[in-house]
Amino acid sequence: MNKVMKQLFSRKSFVISLAILLFFVIISIFANYLTPYTNPYSFNQEYVATPYSPPQWATIFPQYSGLPPTYNNLLSSSQPQFVKNGTVSYAQVGSSKLSVYMKGSGSFLNVSYPFSYDGSKYKEAPSSFTITFSYLPKGVNSTEVQLNVYLIHGNKTFFISSYVPPTYTLLFFYPVCTINMDSLNNIYISSQSLTYSNSPFVNSLSGSARYEGAFVIPSLIFKGEPSSYKLMVSIVDLSGQPINVTMTKPSLHTQGYLFGIMGTDFRGSSVFAEFVLGARFDLELSVITAVVIVAIGLIVGLVAGYKGGKTDLTLNSITDFFLTIPTLPLFIVLESMLVATGLVLDINIVVLLFLLIALLSWMATMKVIRSATLTLRGRTFVEASRALGGGSFHIIMKHLIPNILGIIVAQIAYDVPTVILIESGIDFLGLGITSFPTWGNMLGYASHEVAASNGFVWWWILPPGLGIILLSVAFYFIGTSLRDVLSPYKTRGEI
């Protein structure tokens, strides 16, 4: 074994290929730790940044310098500032909750969270922002309380949203949203959903800006301004009755035009998440399928090569028949018939892909195994075993398989790229997996949507393309090295 390992590691192509393979294996194993997203194509995990955002490191190129990055939780290190009026008491519960008690009409507590956004160095304002927190108001006598949210910069105050109980909505001259008493309210404010009918700030705008709130709000608040800002939450007692409020610390998220290691696609989804999850899926599917392909080819090839005669003729003819049929077009036709026509309802599309690829890709492996078996079945050690009474099963297991083990392992390595290319081709055409990221459908979506991006979205196209090439080449050279080093002639010292 040491001699085999020395021979393998003496080959630069094997070492480099093994390093590439280990890289993809590692990112596949730790995919769930490398990215917080489990399926970037799902509705609640897309739009993590502006669509077509380049990677954050792309600012080294002049055309991307000055673009604002995407920030998550800008308030993470901020300390709240409190201003109160009337009968108000409050206490922080842990590091993330605030408990407030107030009594008296007009009493209020303003809680401000300072944060920095250095908009002066960016050419663009963020495309959008979101504010989220939980809010639980409790009135001892079913009393009412108002919640207001502001963004403050210097002497400018932007009155973003206001929430009151349903019975109070007609008492204000600016638009308000409703909130439920005595129950937990998950506040979610997105600049994209703000209009003149739900935001006091948008309602105060004039002209076309009033009707384009979602598009102009980020630029009115952030663009070109110095870095000091505040997010202020104001709690106001409307009835004068005792009120208890529990509130979590707000989170502020801005979506810029740069994102992460690999940017975003046309959905605004993380390309890095798609890449690592696609690598894991492609590796798992290709390796498992390649093992099944080789198992089928091994059984058919061994039987044909060892039995010979009519058995060999029949099996070889069947194999030749399948070899004459173009695999990819046949695969597309079968997959389309079974999926598009609904003939297969209870089989997962992944399982269907696995079965079709395995059943249509074993022929080349069978030919290789058959040829190797034909050369071995007449060797002296096989004849000697047969003369001593060894049965077919004993000869195959004891003498044939050990001698073609190198070919089997190498063939698995050779078949992995085949599976990757077939699966990627099907996904690229939109006939395979579309609801979960794979390298194939990443390229497919990129090719379909690249026209809309008005440019070459290299951070979206290159990763899956390079992944397919590198992984396929790595498996090919690993297979070649294994075939050469584990060749039965070489291991027996015959050459």
Q: Which of 237, 87, 114 is nearest to 168 (CA)?
A: 237
Residue 49 domain-assigned? no
Buried b (16+ CB within 10 A) or exposed e, 420-437: bebbbbbbbeebbbeebb
Query: Which residue range forms the structural domain that includes residue 194?
Result: 68-255
Q: By CB neighbour count within 10 A (0-12 exposed, 13-18 middle, 19+ buried), where does 450 fall?
A: middle
Judged by phi (left if over 0) then psi (alpha if -120 to 50, else beta), residue 268 lies in left
Residues 286 and 185 in one domain: no
Residues 20 and 166 in one domain: no
Count of domains in the chain?
2
The four Cα atoms 8, 12, 14, 16 give a dihedral, to 10 degrees, of: 140
CA separation for the pair 201, 217 (Å, rounded): 9
In the structure encoding, which two tokens stand for residue 205, read together? Answer: 């705008």
Residue 48 domain-assigned? no
Residues 245 and 375 in one domain: no
Q: Which of 375, 474, 480 is nearest to 16 (CA)?
A: 474
- DSSP H helices, 10-153, are 12-29, 31-34
Q: What is the pairing mode between strands 156-164 and 177-178?
A: parallel
Residue 10 domain-assigned? yes
Residues 378 and 339 in one domain: yes
What CATH number corresponds to the domain at position 98?
A: 2.60.120.260
Handedness of CA 276, 282, 287, 288 (dihedral sign): positive
> Cβ(42)–Cβ(36) under 8 Å?
no
Residues 77 and 100 in one domain: yes
Residue 301 domain-assigned? yes
What CATH number corresponds to the domain at position 476?
A: 1.10.3720.10
Residue 76 domain-assigned? yes
Residue 57 domain-assigned? no
The last residue of one of the domains, among 255, 279, 313, is 255
pTM assigned to the model: 0.80
Residues 321 and 467 in one domain: yes
The last residue of one of the domains, among 195, 230, 255, is 255
Helix 12-29 to helix 2-9 angle (10° resolution) is 90
CA distances from 295 to 145, 291, 408 (A): 70, 6, 9
Q: Residue-wise pLDDT tens for the chain (495 aa)? A: 577 788 888 889 899 999 999 999 999 999 999 998 999 998 888 888 888 899 999 989 888 888 888 888 788 777 889 998 888 888 888 778 889 988 877 788 999 999 888 877 888 888 889 999 999 988 765 567 889 999 998 888 999 999 988 887 778 888 999 888 888 899 999 998 888 888 999 988 887 777 777 778 888 888 666 678 899 999 988 777 888 899 999 999 888 889 989 999 988 899 999 999 999 999 999 999 999 999 999 999 999 988 888 888 999 899 998 888 877 777 778 777 776 666 655 667 788 888 888 888 899 899 989 988 888 888 888 888 888 887 888 888 888 888 888 888 888 888 898 899 888 888 888 888 888 899 999 998 888 877 655 667 889 999 999 999 999 999 999 988 888 887 665 555 554
Residue 53 domain-assigned? no
Residue 46 domain-assigned? no
CA separation for the pair 209, 191 (Å, rounded): 13
> Which residue type occupies 133?
F
How does pLDDT run across 18-74, given as a tens digit for each residue?
A: 999 999 999 999 999 999 899 999 888 888 888 889 999 998 988 888 888 888 878
Angle (nearest 5°) at CA 327 between 326 and 332? 110
Handedness of CA 429, 434, 437, 442 (dihedral sign): positive
How does pLDDT run across 4-18, given as a tens digit for each residue?
A: 788 888 889 899 999
> Cβ(99)–Cβ(246) under 8 Å?
yes
Residues 287 and 162 in one domain: no
> Which residue type occupies 493?
G
Q: Which of 150, 204, 144, 200 is nearest to 172 (CA)?
A: 200
